[in-house]
Every structure is written in C-alpha cells, then in structure tokens.
Amino acid sequence: MKSIIGKKVGMTSIFDTNGKQTCVTIIEAGPCVVTQKKTTETDGYNALQLAFGDKKEKHTLLAEKNHFAKANTTAKKYIKEIRDSESDKNVGDTITVEIFAEGDKVDVVGTTKGKGFQGVVKRHGFHGVGGQSHGQHDRSRAPGSIGGSSYPARVFKGMRMGGRMGQDKVQIKGLQVVKIFPEKNYLLISGSVPGHNGSIVLIQK
C-alpha cells in the first residue's frame, strides 16, 4: 500500500483540452520521512511510521528528539503508522508525491468539520412539527415525541436526537489523481475531501 500524509490547501477547478471542467481539491502531500520501520520478526506486523510537517525544537520532548535523530531528520509535527506499506523503504527515506501518477485511484482519510451541538433539523434532516397554530410557538424545529410513557418508560438507544455533529474520521474512496506538481508537492484530487482548509489528511492507494 502506498501512503502519504498531506495538508488540505483548498479547492479549485481545472479544464482539460476539451474544455471540460473538473472540481479538484489541492493537497500539499509530503515530503514525509520514514521515522520507524516495523517488521513481523520484531513487532509482529509490517508497518511504516511516517512523519510530516516541521515542529519547533522548543516544543519537542527529548524522547521525540532522539527518535527523530535516528532517522536523521528534524522534529516533525504529525506522525502516522501505515500498516502493510511499502517494504522497500527504510528509516530516513523520504516519500514524495511522485509515488502516485496522474489517473491513479486513491482513498483519502480525514476528519470532517466540527459543527458543535446541533438540533435534529440540521443533524438528521427533521422537518419540525409544521405550522404554528393554536398558540404554540418555538416548536418548529423541535424533535417531537421521543418515547413512550409507562411503557417502555425509557428512550430507546440510538434515538435520533440533538447532539454533537461533525469532527468524525471519514474515508472517501475512489478519488482520482487529476494532476501532480512535484516541485510544489501538490496533488490535485477530483472531488471534495473531508476537513477544513489546513487539516491533515492521509492519501492511500
């Protein structure tokens, strides 16, 4: 499995030679440094630990400094472990956007935008109770009845109610790499990618 850590920059549109418009997400992917390599013999499974984004030395613990020193690199801000990744990479190697090619199908893992505490209309698409007749007010966005009275005398688990919305880990599959800019470490991926601009995403193939 080919993987790289990136930062979502934003969205734009590009046009092909036939004038067809494609909406793409710009991702600054890598360069990522391999800071640890796990094998079946030593750890029980195969994995690569990738690091991305520079981190100030004053914000780095001594144990982290020593860990990054083994890979002969500076302190990094984001670390992810990729299972069953490329086995030909060793500690200290660098992974860039050139591991992908234009036209590749990739999966992108990110954290969706946080919406905070939301009601049932925004969170679940409820329509409310309808009109405001017979003196009722402030009920147009209410959930309505949520349970029985004497039986079952409780609210069932999984009832759709108000609550925290967003900030969930989401994987979008089957996105296409439209264009690559190796000199800027940019990946242009078709469609939308979860998360706000500046959020960290993981691109896998």
- For 4, the token pair is 């790289």
Q: Which helix (H) or strand (E) holds 66?
A: helix 62-70
Given a cut of 70, whether residue 169 has pLDDT beyond it is: yes
- For 110, the token pair is 């990110």
pLDDT in tens, 17-71: 899 999 999 999 989 999 999 888 888 888 999 999 998 989 999 999 999 999 9
Half-sphere exposure of 182 (CA within 13 A, CB side): 7
pLDDT in tens, 62-112: 999 999 999 999 999 999 999 887 568 888 889 999 999 999 999 999 999
Question: In degrees, to the nearest 5, what angle opens at C-alpha 185 toward C-alphas 15 and 53?
Answer: 135
**pTM of the predicted model, to two decimals?**
0.84
Total residue count of the chain as it appears in this document: 205
Cβ–Cβ under 8 Å, residues 33 and 26: no
Given a cut of 90, whether residue 128 has pLDDT beyond it is: no
- What single string gives the DSSP state of each residue in 146-168? -S-SSSS-SPPTT---SEEEE--
Q: Using CA atoms, how far apart are residues 112 and 91, in angstroms rounded to an integer?
A: 31
* Other beta carbons less than 10 A from residue 143's beta carbon: 18
All domains in the chain, ordered by first residue: 3-116+169-204 (2.40.30.10), 117-166 (no CATH)
Given a cut of 90, whether residue 146 has pLDDT beyond it is: no
Q: Which helix (H) or strand (E) holds 43?
A: helix 40-43
User: Which residues does residue 181 pair with via DSSP β-bridges, in sequence order?
Assistant: 186
- CA dihedral in degrees (85, 88, 93, 96; nearest 10)? -60
